[in-house]
Structure 1
Amino acid sequence: MNALDLSRLRPRLPSPLEPVADERFARHGLTLLLKRDDLIHPDLPGNKWRKLALNLREAAGRPVLTFGGAYSNHLRATAAAGRLLGFPTVGVVRGDELAGRPLNPSLARCAADGMRLEFVDRATYRAKNDPATVAALLERAPAGAYVVPEGGSNALAVRGCVELGRELAGRADVAAVACGTGGTLAGLAAGFEGRTLGVPVLKGGFLGGEVRALQEAAFGGPRGDWSLDERFHGGGYARVPPVLTEFAQNFEARHGLAIERLYVAKMLYGLMILADEGAFAPGTRIAAVVTGAPEGTA
């Protein structure tokens, strides 16, 4: 199977843009729109499709080695792509203490899709961009393996996300997206004509530099009008405080849509707070990018 032939997977593109009648936004004169990237493909939903597509074409059927934590949606999507397109995958997982434990549902899904999981200690994982570390990992990988970075974020991924911004051009004034490694935001902002807001789901204040570096690698310099609001990470990655759980459950009850907690809920909660703070002028159309679905629903 030639990995270049992604069209046979029949991605749903452009993804739907759905208005949501929510009085928490309407009372401020705002229109909330959901950009349903979670519906692009059942196994490679959301930003994972957009970030992987050009990388998979570049890999051209070679084995793919990539990185992620124990609950990484990126690892799951890469493993699924390998199964569907017929190429080997290796997932380098943060935390060697996990090696002797039963696999959690995310990693079990990766393994079921044929991904070889390699658990490394945290010091090694932190050095995942070091050429010597990558070379050592490649020695244990299938010959000719193509390396995709953590979260899939590199110049090719950024270029793949430009189309997301173009799909929203003229249909929204503000585009908002939850951010892990910054690749989706970097591409979205480059393709969008309005204001782009990133909501980091990790603490640390490092993401702005990462987005700038990704745009430099992809385009040779900055693109688009983008900013970050660092307040809504909920304590850090994979942290879901009670206030966020309550918000997500309420949103689900109002709109009948299951909300992924680690990314999407944080972004939507942040938008609600910003609306209450008067961050958006009346009449603003806000497109919230739904980058993924809860575990077990995609």
Structure 2
Amino acid sequence: MTCELSPAPGGPAAPRTAALRPRLPSPVAELRDERFARRGLRLLLKRDDLIHPELPGNKWRKLEPNLRAADPARHTLLTFGGAYSNHLRATAAAGRLLGFATVGVVRGEELADRPLNASLSRCAADGMRLRFVDRATYRRKNEPEVLAELTRTAGAGGECFVVPEGGSNAAAVHGCTELGRELRGVADVVGVACGTGGTLAGLAAGLGQGQRTIGFPVLKGGFLGAEIERLQREAFGERRGAWELDERFHCGGYARTGPELDAFAEDFAARHGLAPERVYVAKMLYGLTTLALEGAFAPGTTVAAVVTG
């Protein structure tokens, strides 16, 4: 199997991606939350989770531009993720909807001997072949020789079309600029959860003058700022937009929670009738609420929270 990297922005369009039928722009809803209101703040939810039932939010925005240059008649989509990866699920769903064969390289060789969790079961049900690799190999997945071996042993025919982990590359960043454009003039501050950084990179670039973005990493490590800058320079040639990261709310790492986050999510659901997804959305909402309580936003500020899934 030969390997072809996903495209740079501006590649050939493929009308077949219209079969994904997104709901755009995604709706904005105002929430009456007394923790914000008593400080003179408005809280909005940008419901990107409603774009598509199987490719919600940033997953649709990042995958669609990556798939424009792919051809289901000759390409197998190969991508990467952990055992609970929303990106793997979205890629598998896109493959089923658009007629692509798909391969998911999953971090954690030990998982191969266990029953599939609900997330990976959904991937398999959508036709994705799962290739489990040890964590050391996974960390080296972007090295040419490792990538060549992964594609050779992926177990699917045709050319391999590689979509990066989380779907984040220059094409995806350009896709996410539309999210920022949809929020121009709507909010002063926009909060978003960050995994691989592609959504924030595009969102910040798409916002208007005087608006800023706060990203809440869901992984620990402090590496994400440099990665977002790299993605923006790859996409635009420079850093774009006013953005910052608050690293306090990852709860110890990806897919990890804790008593404080659990209590916050349960309270948020009781207040608003919306149970926030715990891996990404709850951490972002917890971060924005904490900042509001700390007095980080001036009275009169409108805060928008991007609900990605």
Aligned equivalent of 2:30: 19
SS at match of 1:176: strand
Q: Secondary structure of 1:99's partner?
A: helix
Give aligned pairs, total: 291
Matching residue within 191, 209, 214 for 2:206: 191
Q: Which runs of 5+ in 2 are unaligned?
A: 1-12
Q: Matched residues in 2 for 1:103 and 1:35: separation?
A: 32
SS in structure 2 opposite 1:272?
Answer: helix
- 2:173 equivalent to 1:158: yes
Match of 1:287 in 2: 304
Please report how far the alpha carbon of residue 4 of structure 1 lies from its aligned counterpart in structure 2 after TM superposition. Answer: 4.0
**1:117–1:4 CA distance, 2 compared to 1 (3 A):** farther
CA-to-aligned-CA distance 1:48-105 (integer Å, 9 cap, x gap): 0001010011223321100000000000000000001111000000011111111000
Q: What CA deviation, in whole Å up to 9, does each residue of 1:109-135 have, x standing for no partner?
A: 000000000000111100011111111
Report what 1:139 is aligned to. Answer: 152
Alignment of 1:192-211 (within 5 A): 192-193=207-208, 194-211=211-228
CA contact (8 A) 2:20 2:94 kept: no
1:64–1:147: 8 Å Cα contact kept in structure 2?
yes
Which residue of structure 2 lines up, in the alignment, with residue 276 of structure 1? 293
**Distance (whole Å) between structure 1 residues aligned to residue 275 and residue 53 of structure 2:** 15
In structure 2, what is the equivalent of residue 295 of structure 1? none
Residues 4, 60 of structure 1: 8 Å contact kept? no
SS of 2:54's partner is coil
Q: Is the 8 A contact 1:82 1:88 kept in 2?
A: yes
| 1:58-73 to 2 correspondences below 5 Å | 58-61=69-72, 62-73=75-86
Partner of 1:225: 242
Alignment of 1:50-61 (within 5 A): 50-61=61-72
Q: Percent identity at matched positions?
A: 73
Equivalent pair of 2:26/2:46 in contact (CA under 8 Å): yes
Q: Partner of 2:9 in structure 1? A: none
Deviation at 1:6, TM superposition (A): 1.9
1:126 and 1:98 map into 2 onto residues whose CA distance is 16
Query: Aligned-pair RMSD on alpha carbons?
Result: 1.1
> Structure 1, unaligned stretches of length 5 or more?
293-298
Deviation at 1:9, TM superposition (A): 2.5
Give, as a single letter, the amino acid of the residue that structure 2 aligns with 1:74. Answer: H
- How far off is 1:203 after superposition? 0.5
Contact kept? 2:55, 2:93, Cα under 8 Å: yes
**Aligned counterparts of 1:286 and 1:148: Cα–Cα separation in 2:** 32
- Cα distance between partner residues in 2 of 1:286 and 1:93: 36
Deviations 1:166-185 (A, max 9, x none): 00000111111000100000
